[in-house]
Amino acid sequence: MKLGGLAMVVNGFDFHTNILPPSSGELADAWRPYMETLIELFGANRCIFESNFPVDKAMCSYPVLWNAFKRIAAGCSAAEKAALFHDTAARFYRIG
């Protein structure tokens, strides 16, 4: 399960209407219910945090996006974080 793409305007989050772009905390708070549910359902070993850049750039910067993912994963174990940020993708895409 790819966890990303929520920064696209078509997903219904209205951050693009604000004067200032959202912080990583604001994004994490908005996305957490969706992403935590998917991680619970599929498990960290079947989920991948991913960016949809440059399309996501309409809502936030690249560092803000990845910091939001870090905030969402804050309660995960070290093994779960490794899976979400690297191991699952490396295994799925057969990257040595």
Cα–Cα distance between 38 and 47 in angstroms, integer? 8
User: Is 13 within a domain?
Assistant: no
Q: Which domain holds residue 56?
A: 2-8+21-92
How many residues does this entry show for the chain? 96
User: Is 15 within a domain?
Assistant: no
User: Is 48 within a domain?
Assistant: yes
User: Is 14 within a domain?
Assistant: no
Average pLDDT value for residue range 67-95? 97
**Residue keyed to tokens 């908005």:** 30
Q: Among 3, 2, 6, which Cα is nearest to 56's? A: 6
User: Is 16 within a domain?
Assistant: no
Give the pTM.
0.93
Question: For 19-36, how does the pLDDT look when each residue is reduced to its tens digit (9 = 90+)?
Answer: 999 999 999 999 999 999
State residue 45 phi and psi, 5-degree precision. Answer: -75, -5
Our count of domains for the chain comes to 1
If residue 68 lies in a helix (H) or strand (E), which one and from where to where? helix 62-72
